[in-house]
Amino acid sequence: MDKNDMILVSVDDHIIEPPDMFANRLPARYADEAPRLVHMDNGADMWKFRDRVIPNVALNAVAGRPKEEYGLDPEGLDEIRPGCYDVHERVKDMNAGGVLAQMNFPSFPGFAARLFATEDSDFSLALVQAYNDWHIEEWCGAYPGRFIPMALPVIWDAELCAQEVRRVSKKGVHALTFTENPAALGYPSFHDDYWNPLWEALVETNTVLNVHIGSSGKLSIPATDSPPDVMITLQPMNIVSAAADLLWSNPIKRYADLKIGLSEGGTGWIPYFLQRADRTFDMHATWTLQDFGGKLPSEVFREHFLTCFISDPIGVRLRNEIGIDNIAWEMDYPHSDSMWPGAPEELSAVFTAEHVPDDEIDKMTYRNALEWYSFDPFRHIPRDAATVGALRAASADHDVSIKARSHQQRAAADKLAAFKSQIEAATAHTATR
């Protein structure tokens, strides 16, 4: 397939939230307590909520910037590409990159919105609903057919979370972002019946539970003095633990239509994982009392789990051992792993090298995403206007050149020292929880 004929729908991208997102969204009694973006003396813009300050970290918004500006330094909105936080500029960036649609995960609240879990449940719920309504109505609603809407969870209350799933489903939302390890956040594990109301709401509304790497805040590093390369290499491996935990859980056996998205976890590891799960079942089910109703774990995995990849040549090569109906593509804009704006070129090279037929390309690049997330962009956009070539032609004058944007350049040694300091602080915080 020629790259210009591909249709690209990404199931994992990110929003850097704009400063006015809570305007007129909260009840009047909470307006003064709303999270707000504060401009710091060092030029960084940080979200402030009560006693918490959450920076815009450079690695989370490096689209269109040179690699010399990568790092963990906090930054201001004027140092990052406007498409990170401005929906109109985002769509221009999507067009220039040949991408029809995206599903966007949150940034400052955390992937599971744990920032909003306060001692006041009513206030917390108001924050989640304000965010969700902004995301659905203002971000996704600005360009119908261009964004798969996704809701934040009410992570601290399974009943309220189920109610929110049902509420937003009436607005066309069939995706919920969640943590890959609720126990790490102090909540019951996936194996606890506490979450049954949520499972039931997800199945009832045909909503996918998306567990994103890093959503529990757990650090994948063997030692605090490990270089950052270790953490970055291991980040996708967080999802392996979540996949195993969920595959062997009762909800997977109890709810035949439950759907789980393994977000930003890659795919190359899955064939071995499934082989290992089947062997574990064969060797140990007699005493662990696992029962998948006459099926193998690998078969059940393919009934319940959607996986995604950025480039992943190994995963593409092994696509039929994973399950061609279980793979979707992600661009990860504007994070540092993203292939924007060259996704069509990189994907085309991988597909050509692995001799992928056109029907399988279509499944991985858009058809599986549309089916799993009950999303139909073609109600709004003609199919012949949705291809890479058509989208790029519509935005041919949009600047996608690499540009330095940081106000100040820090030496690599200083960035590494800052990384070590942050890891030590995070480890100390985790140890005292």
> What pLDDT band is residue 218 in, cutting at 50, 70 and 90?
low
Q: Where are the domains of the chain?
A: 3-431
Query: What is the number of other CB atoms lying within 10 angstroms of the CB of residue 376?
Result: 11
Tokens 């719920």 -> residue: 125
Residue with the bigger pLDDT between 251 and 432: it is: 251
Mean pLDDT of the chain: 92
- Quick one: average pLDDT of 383-389? 98
Share of the chain above pLDDT 90, in %: 80
Q: How far is the first Cα of the chain from the last one, in angstroms, to the nearest whole number? A: 52
- Quick one: average pLDDT of 62-90? 89
Is-contact 433 230, C-beta < 8 A? no
Tokens 């140990």 -> residue: 284
Tokens 């909470």 -> residue: 30
Q: Is the pLDDT of residue 373 over 50?
A: yes
* Burial class of residue 362, CB neighbours in 10 A (0-12, 13-18, 19+): middle
pLDDT tens for 124-161 read: 999 999 999 999 999 999 999 999 999 999 999 999 99
Q: Is the pLDDT of residue 186 over 60?
A: yes
> What pLDDT band is residue 214 in, cutting at 50, 70 and 90?
confident
Q: Is the pLDDT of residue 74 over 70?
A: no
Residue 123: alpha-carbon gap to chain centroid: 25
Q: Is the pLDDT of residue 362 over 80?
A: yes
Report the amino acid identity of residue 249: S
Q: Which of 34-48, 262-276, 407-421 has the lowest mean pLDDT?
A: 407-421
* Burial class of residue 134, CB neighbours in 10 A (0-12, 13-18, 19+): buried
Q: Is the pLDDT of residue 433 over 60?
A: no
pLDDT tens for 249-308 read: 999 999 999 999 999 999 999 999 999 999 999 999 999 999 999 999 999 999 999 999
CA distance 137 to 217: 29
What CATH number was assigned to the domain covering residues 3-431? 3.20.20.140
